[in-house]
Chain A
Amino acid sequence: MADEKMQLPKDAFEPLQATEQLNSERIAAPSLTFLQDAWRRLKKNKAAVISLWVLVVIIILAVGSIWFSPRNPNAQNAAYANLPPKIGGGFWGFDGKANIAGAVVDAYKQAGVPKGTYYILGTDYLGRDLLSRILFGTRISLLVAFVATFFDLVIGVAYGMISGWYGGRVDTIMQRVLEVISSVPNLVVVILMIVVFKPGIFSISMAIAITGWITMARLIRAQTLKMKDQEFILAARTLGESTRKIALKHLLPNLSSTIIIQLMFTIPTAIFFEAFLSFIGIGISAPNASLGTLLNDGYKTFRFLPYQMWYPAAVLSIIMIAFNLLADGLRDAFDPRTRG
């Protein structure tokens, strides 16, 4: 039984054509670069795509309002103070009616506003157009966030790369410094910085950046440590590439996904801090406005004129939600392993 050879019929085999063999080796899908691949994955995430569009629209509106603001955001008109929202002839919620001492009255008629003039989101206590002010405030808030994020990027990436690359004593000292800085509540640092360097767009951005780069530095250091012993870095070193060139041409591109994801989380944090500081009254000062100062102004009268608080609050919340959803989407897109 065992030594009996198994007989296979000849016609069970079919000779293969030369061309077919080639076909089986062909890769059908075009090979994608890392970024294309991430973009393809991001597009599948509906929430992230919608957030991206919302943010694009908000940024275009905020920047565009430099030239196309509905009204001058700083023009005061005491006679038209605290007008409620009204659009066109007026419809529900935007009819220009105000509840004054229990009676509903047409605030526009009372103030003597000519027919055809209306404020889409109403006016504030100085008669400034709220819509224009929100656009203006959004611009300043975004500006502060982007400037802070930029410094965050530069300091964090440089610190992390130096610490991770050189290792040894340099790394130990740099890590101790990080530990000390990170054990001060970051808001306290931000507040101290602002108390020392009077509030302004630049000083607030700097104060936020000074506390924000720590997470970035930690992430970059960890990645650098992991990468510096890998073959491609070893090859570059063997070929005599200078440290600076290795950092810029070999390390940085490979760190890009970490950097992008972290930046997307930093921006909303910066927006939050700015709004927070302005809300407690030590942020952006007049005549400039940010979403935080608008909230602060609106809060003073929000029991009677709630719209002055809700619109800036809504815009701020939408921006925060959109950035967080986009950041989540980007993280999943760049690193599918983290997907829950």
Chain B
Amino acid sequence: MRKYILKRVLYMLLTLFLIATITFFLMKLLPGTPYQNQDKMSASQIHMMNVQYGLNKPVWQQYLIYIFGMVHGNLGISFQFSSQPVSYLIATRIGPSLQLGIQAMIVGSILGILLGAIAAIRKNTWADTLATLLAILGMSIPNFVFAVLLQYILGFKLKLFPIALWDNFSSSILPTIALAMMPLAETARFMRTEMIDVLNSDYIMLARAKGLTQAGVVWHHALRNSLIPVITLAGPLAVNLMTGSMVVENIFSIPGIGEQFVKSITTNDYPTIMGVTMVYSLMLVVVILIVDILYGIIDPRIRLSGSEVNA
């Protein structure tokens, strides 16, 4: 097990290194300069600016400086956002994003598991149909449409929640619901399939033959065994939450890294784009690693095959 974890961590570091390299050179490929008003600047001003951002050195030196700095948690200086260090920007903004992501993950997965389990136990009844319908809607309707819908109806028309604000818990409810729809739908679908499989297995028949009640069968045997594969969903769901956070944070004006990422894209703030990309990749890689390790502990058969991530 220790060897397996070590191997996975090594792969993870290699992956992160490759991502950093690719991102760096992609950014270097970009035409134009980061300065908006270069035409108006004199040659010496441009030179000064280049020196300040380290752009006067050869590309390979910039690359080494970048990689070396990143290992030490230094992601460079933002071109926008009043020349603050990128790592500082991310550190101040990651809190709201994490809070929303974790809230959405908890709400989505718990409701999804419940919904999926009910659909499986009451297979082919109205409850199943309703759950399947909800899951299809949750999977299909884009999260920004959900977000706007919630904002319009619950925020603007009924005035139950703040429309776009970030201070207390109640302001995080609408974005959490909007973000949680997709995890909810995915978990419910996955859970339903798994649970139906488990309910048809021999050991459930044995449990029933022993005279266990329906609740006992479901609680002690079916639910636990169907939950194991659901863990693998964590990777794809994490990706989904990151994607979702970019629009949802924008719609609800939440000062998170998703909002910042979008802003830095529209203003060509390359150091920030690179920094946030690295943070997103790091989070994803860590989630996948944790899922793989957890899964290896729970189910030794899986220990050597990789996990699937697609969103």
Residues of A near any B CB (own CB < 8 A): 175, 179-180, 182-188, 191-192, 195-196, 214-215, 218, 268, 272, 275-276, 279-282, 295, 299, 302-303, 306, 309, 313, 316-317, 320-321, 323-325, 328, 338, 340
Contact = CB atoms under 8 A, between A and B. Distances in A.
A183 B156 contact: no
A179 B243 contact: no
Nearest to B128: A340
A330 B298 CA distance: 33
Pick from A185, A282, A323, A328 the residue with the most CB of B within 10 Å. A185
What is the predominant secondary structure among interface residues of chain A facing chain B?
helix
A157 B265 CA distance: 32
A324 B139 contact: yes
Interface in B150-194: 152, 156, 192-193
B203 to A, nearest CB: 19
A279 B281 contact: no
Given A215-B310, A280-B250, A324-B140, A187 B265 contact: no
Contacts of B139: 324
Nearest to A214: B310
Contacts, number: 114
B121 interface: no
A226 to B, nearest CB: 15
B130 to A, nearest CB: 14
Contacts of B70: none
Contacts of A182: 309-310
B89 interface: no
A183 B288 contact: yes
Interface residues of B, number: 51
Nearest to B185: A324
Contact of A185 (B149, B196, B242): B242
Pick from A188, A218, A276, A328 the residue with the most CB of B within 10 Å. A188
Pick from A191, A279, A280, A313 the residue with the most CB of B within 10 Å. A280
Contacts of A195: 30, 265, 268, 273
Given A214-B310, A313-B149, A317-B142, 12 more contacts: A180-B15, A184-B19, A185-B284, A188-B281, A192-B26, A196-B30, A215-B308, A280-B262, A282-B265, A306-B152, A313-B148, A321-B141
Interface of B: 11-12, 14-15, 18-19, 23, 26, 29-30, 120, 123, 136-137, 139-142, 144-145, 148-149, 152, 156, 192-193, 196, 239, 242-243, 246-247, 250-251, 261-262, 265-266, 268, 273, 277, 280-281, 284-285, 288, 306, 308-311
A184 B23 CA distance: 11
Pick from B136, B242, B243 the residue with the most CB of A within 10 Å. B243
B239 A186 contact: yes
Nearest to A312: B145
B15 A276 contact: no
A280 B285 CA distance: 25
A46 B148 CA distance: 31
A160 B110 CA distance: 35
Contact of A179 (B15, B247, B280): B15
Contact of A276 (B19, B144, B193, B285): B144
Contacts of B247: 276, 279-280
A332 to B, nearest CB: 12
B242 A187 contact: yes
B140 A321 contact: yes
B285 A183 contact: yes
Contacts of A338: 193
A2 B310 CA distance: 71
4 closest A-B pairs by CB: A320-B140, A321-B140, A215-B310, A187-B243
B11 A188 contact: no
Contacts of B120: 340
Contacts of A186: 239, 311
Contacts of B30: 195-196
A272 B251 CA distance: 17
Given A180-B19, A183-B309, A276 B284 contact: no
B192 A317 contact: no
